[in-house]
Structure 1
C-alpha cells in the first residue's frame, strides 16, 4: 500500500471512532413448613442430590457474585479508559497526517516553481546568469543569489523528505493504535458479558426470595457489616485517627456525600448513578484533582497512607484484589456505592476487608 493510501486508511480509521450461569437451586425459608404426607415421603434421587440453602448461604452466594462482578467491572473500566486514550491518539495522528499532506503539497509546489524557473532561464537560475555579466557589482550580487537559491532548494527538498518520513510514521502508528483499539473492544465485550451474567445470577437469587426474606437478607447484610465494623473498632484502629481534611478533601467529601441515595450502576460515573470508583474519581475531579478511574489503578498509582494516618477525603481500598473503594469521611465512616441493587450510602470504614488507604492529594 502506497503512502497516500496508508494515510487515507488511517484517516478513515480515525473517523470510524465516532461509530465506536448456571440455574440456581431453590432455598428454604427461615421457617420450615409444617409436616405433611408429601413431606414424609423420601426425596427422589435428584432432590436428595440438591440440598436446600439457608438464607445466610444465599447471602454469601449473592455477595460472592457481586464481588466477582465488581472485580470484572474494574477491569472493564480500565480497558475502557485505555480505549479512550487510543481513540484520542488515533484522532491526533489523523490530524497530523492531514497537516503533513498539506505541507507536502506546498513543498512540492515550491520545488516545482524552482524547476520551472530554471527551465525558462535555459537551465540556469537568474543568479547564475548575472554571474556572466561584465559588471563586477552584478557579478557579486549573482554569487550571493546563487548561494541563496541553492540553500533554498536544498531546504525545500530536505523538508519535503522529512515530512514524507513523518507522514509514513504517523500512518504506521495510526494503524497500530487501531489494532490495539479493536483488541481492547473485543476484550471489553467479553468482560461486559461476564459482568452481566454474574449480576443476572445474583438478581435471580434475590428474585426467588419472598418479600419478608428479602427484608431478612438486607438485615443479614447489615449484621455482617456491623460485626466487621465492631471488630475493627475494637482493635483500636480508630484511636489515633483524628486528622482534619485538606481543602481538596473537604470538597471531595462534599461532592461524594451529595450523591447519597443515587443508584449503583456498573461502569457509571454520574451524574445520575455511579459505581464505586466512578464515585471516588468524580468526587476528586470535582475537587480539582483528577485521579485514576478504577479502584485497582487508584491503589496502584496513588500514594499509600497508614490507616492510623488517614483523614477525610482519603480513599480506602477493599478486598485482596482492590476491587472496591470507598471515601473516608471521618468518625470511622465511609461513603461508597456498594453494588447493583443498592444506592450510594454511608457505611462503617471497617465493615469490609481493608486492603489499604491512598491519598489523592498528598
Structure 2
C-alpha cells in the first residue's frame, strides 16, 4: 500500500448497493487546479496522496459496515411487516367467527353486548372498550380473548416496525454521507495527481518503501503445502491477483480488502462478516510467531485493513484505490494482529 503515515486512532462508525462505477479503481475526475510542486516537495505530495487514500480506505470500511446494517434493518422490517399482515388477517378471521356467533345469538333472541360491540367498531376501538368489561363465558369469550391477544401483538409489531423503518432511514442518511466522504477524498487525491507532470505523478504513485517494492500482482497459482479448506481459500485468493481494488466491492471483477477476504473464505466454506473490524472477532487470535497460511492479518489501530497470510512472511491483499490485488511482505503496514477463523 505504499508509504503510510503513522495511524491515528479512529472510531467505528450498505440499502444501496455499490455499482460498477463506485467499485472501479480509476480515480475520480479533477474538480480544481493543483499547482505543480517543486521537485523537493514531491515527498510531501506523496505523503498527502497516501494519507488521502488511507483515509478513503478507512471510510470505506465504515461505509461497508453501515451498508450491512441497512441490509439487516431492511430484512428485519420486511419480516415484521409480513407478521403484521398475518396477524391482521387472523383478526379478520376472528371477526368472521364472532359474526357467526352474533347471527346464532340473534336467532336465539339477542346479541351479547360484547359481541355487538366487536362487530360495530374497529378492532382497536373495540378492544380498548372490551378491556373494561366482564366478557361472557363460552365460545365467544375465547374468540374475544384471542382477538385481544392478537391486537396487542399487532400494536407491538406496528411499534417495532416503525422503529426499524426509522432506524433504516437514519442509516441510509449516514450511508449517503459516508459515500460522499469517500468520494471527496478520492477526488482530492485525483486533483493533486492530475496537477502533476507525468514523471512526477509516476514518482508519487511509485512505492518507494523497499518492502513494498517487493510486491507482486502478477497472476499466479498457489503452490504451497496447504490442503483442504485452507487450500481452497488460497486458491481463490491467488486467482484474484492483478484485479483492481474497488471501494465497497465484493467481486468478481474488483474487491476491497474485506470483500476479498470474505469471498476467499466463502470459497473455502467458511463464513466471514463483511467488514474488517468484525472479521477481527470471527476467530481465534494468533501470535505473530505462530501465524500459518490462511490466517487473517490486520493492520492499523482501527483495524480497517485485512489480508490473508500465504506463508514465507507474505500477505495477499487488496491494497487501496489505484492499485491491484497483490502479494507483499507482512510488515509493509502497521501490523495489529492475526486471527484464525
CA distance, structure 1, for counterparts of residue 281 and residue 302 of structure 2: 11
Matched, 1:81 2:56: no
In the alignment, which of 279, 304, 328 is matched to residue 323 of structure 1? 304
Q: By how many angstroms is 1:303 displaced? A: 2.8
TM-score normalised by L of structure 1: 0.72
Q: Is the 8 A contact 1:263 1:344 kept in 2?
A: yes
Q: Counterpart in 1 of 2:53?
A: 66
Larger radius of gyration: 1
Q: By how many angstroms is 1:24 displaced? A: 4.3
Alignment of 1:245-256 (within 5 A): 245=226, 247-256=228-237
In the alignment, which of 165, 168, 187 is matched to residue 181 of structure 1? 168
Q: Is the 8 A contact 2:295 2:308 kept in 1?
A: yes
Q: By how many angstroms is 1:301 displaced? A: 4.6
CA distance, structure 1, for counterparts of residue 107 and residue 16 of structure 2: 50
Matched, 1:54 2:54: no
Q: By how many angstroms is 1:244 displaced? A: 6.6
CA distance, structure 1, for counterparts of residue 326 and residue 71 of structure 2: 30
**Residues 180 and 23 of structure 1, relative CA distance in 2, 3 Å threshold:** farther
Q: Counterpart in 2 of 1:101?
A: 88
**Residues 18 and 101 of structure 1, relative CA distance in 2, 3 Å threshold:** farther
Alignment of 1:163-312 (within 5 A): 163-223=150-210, 225=212, 245=226, 247-312=228-293
Q: Is the 8 A contact 2:230 2:268 kept in 1?
A: yes
TM-score normalised by L of structure 2: 0.76
CA distance, structure 2, for counterparts of residue 190 and residue 255 of structure 1: 33
Matched, 1:27 2:37: yes
**Residues 18 and 114 of structure 1, relative CA distance in 2, 3 Å threshold:** farther
Alignment of 1:6-25 (within 5 A): 24-25=34-35
Q: Is the 8 A contact 2:56 2:185 kept in 1?
A: yes
Q: By how many angstroms is 1:54 displaced? A: 2.6
Q: By how many angstroms is 1:245 displaced? A: 4.6
Q: By how many angstroms is 1:185 displaced? A: 1.1
Matched, 1:351 2:326: no
Q: Is the 8 A contact 2:242 2:324 kept in 1?
A: yes
**Residues 266 and 18 of structure 1, relative CA distance in 2, 3 Å threshold:** closer
Q: By how many angstroms is 1:171 displaced? A: 0.9
Q: Counterpart in 2 of 1:12?
A: none
SS of the equivalent of 1:223 reads: coil
CA distance, structure 1, for counterparts of residue 73 and residue 172 of structure 2: 11
**Residues 18 and 81 of structure 1, relative CA distance in 2, 3 Å threshold:** closer
Q: Is the 8 A contact 1:336 1:345 kept in 2?
A: yes
Q: Which one has the bigger helix percentage?
A: 1
Q: By how many angstroms is 1:212 displaced? A: 2.8
CA distance, structure 1, for counterparts of residue 286 and residue 230 of structure 2: 14
CA distance, structure 1, for counterparts of residue 167 and residue 111 of structure 2: 53
**More displaced stretch, 214-223 vs 340-349:** 214-223
C-alpha RMSD of matched pairs (Å): 2.8
Q: Is the 8 A contact 2:211 2:328 kept in 1?
A: no
Q: Counterpart in 2 of 1:342?
A: 323
CA distance, structure 2, for counterparts of residue 283 and residue 225 of structure 1: 23
